[in-house]
Amino acid sequence: MTARLSPEDLSFVPVDQAEGVACQAFEVVRQSPMYNDAYDRLERWLTEGVGLGAHKSLRIRTTVALLGGEIVGYIATHAHEIHPDRLDRARFERPFSALKVLHLATNRPYQGRGVGEILLLAFGIGSAALLTRTTGCRFVFLDALKPAVGFYERLAFEIVPTGKPNAIWAPMIFDLKKAGSATLDSYREIAGQLLTT
Ligand SMILES: CC(C)(COP(=O)(O)OP(=O)(O)OC[C@H]1O[C@@H](n2cnc3c(N)ncnc32)[C@H](O)[C@@H]1OP(=O)(O)O)[C@@H](O)C(=O)NCCC(=O)NCCS
């Protein structure tokens, strides 16, 4: 079995600081033909410079994880507002501020070695936890591909019921209020250590 990677093994840089590297192949695993368009979108984000353009216009931040000279994973996030129609209306009556994880992927040969979890903890939940110190941010929100739902559930994300069981995406939220201050402090620490310019 290949060893798990730790944050110290990797470097984390904004995608515009890895322009040449970002053009190299990036391949996520295709688990079923049903999901192929979604996986293609994840690959194009890096290999066709889509993420780079969005990053340079400050619309969506993409951070890549590098191992040596190779991109092993990336995460793309942006500021977001969740409306009650995407939440449990019984619990949430008004829009809530959130950080949205638009894309998260680990390059195929490196999957299962801890890269996705490090990226999500530091640049997803950890960034949101840091944001709460300067502005409102109640949730981390994302649309998970169904095969990835278990990955997010391990980290306390919950599925938001939509009444659309056949959709290929499942909306999921991480509630910072539920997480508690000790947990948020630990995620802030990871983010503080890994956040780059
Ligand atoms: C989903 C994905 C981002 C996870 O990243 P990764 O680097 O492979 O995952 P990690 O190695 O950090 O996994 C951390 C833990 O979650 C578990 N895990 C990983 N993927 C899982 C899944 N799909 N379901 C349940 N558990 C999963 C791992 O076994 C590991 O558990 P362990 O700590 O007990 O060993 C990655 O597999 C991927 O890029 N998949 C294809 C694209 C995709 O689906 N992206 C998400 C779109 S929303």
Q: What is the C-alpha to C-alpha distance for residues 98 and 142, in angstroms, rounded to an integer?
A: 10
C-beta neighbour count of 49 within 10 angstroms: 16
Least confident of 24-28, 109-113, 114-118: 24-28
Question: How close is the Cα of 112 to the center of ligand 1, in Å?
Answer: 6
Is 91's pLDDT higher than 80? no
pLDDT in tens, 124-183: 999 999 999 999 999 999 999 999 999 999 999 999 888 788 889 999 999 999 999 999
DSSP state of 125: I
Nearest CA to ligand 1 atom 3: 105
pLDDT in tens, 27-69: 998 878 899 999 999 999 999 999 999 999 999 999 999 999 8
Strands 70-82 and 11-14: unpaired
Residues with CB under 6 A from ligand 1: 28-29, 42, 104-106, 111-117, 142, 144-145, 147-148, 150-151, 154
C-beta neighbour count of 160 within 10 angstroms: 17
Which of 35, 151, 154 should be mutated for ligand 1, with most atoms under 8 A from CB? 151
Atom of ligand 1 nearest to the CA of 105: 39
Question: How close is the Cα of 151 to the center of ligand 1, in Å?
Answer: 5
pLDDT given for residue 1 in this prediction: 63
Q: How confident is the model at residue 105 (pLDDT cuts 50, 70, 90)?
A: very high
Atom of ligand 1 nearest to the CA of 39: 42
Structural domain boundaries of the chain? 7-194
Is 197's pLDDT higher than 60? no
Residues near 59 by beta carbon (within 8 Å), at least 6 away in sequence: 78
Strand order in the sheet with 169-175: 11-14, 61-67, 70-82, 96-106, 139-145, 169-175, 158-159
174 DSSP β-pair partners: 140
Q: What is the C-alpha to C-alpha distance for residues 161 and 39, in angstroms, rounded to an integer?
A: 23
pLDDT given for residue 191 in this prediction: 95
Main-chain dihedrals φ then ψ at residue 11, nearest 5 degrees: -120, 155
Class of domain 7-194: alpha beta
Is 5's pLDDT higher than 70? yes
C-beta neighbour count of 156 within 10 angstroms: 14
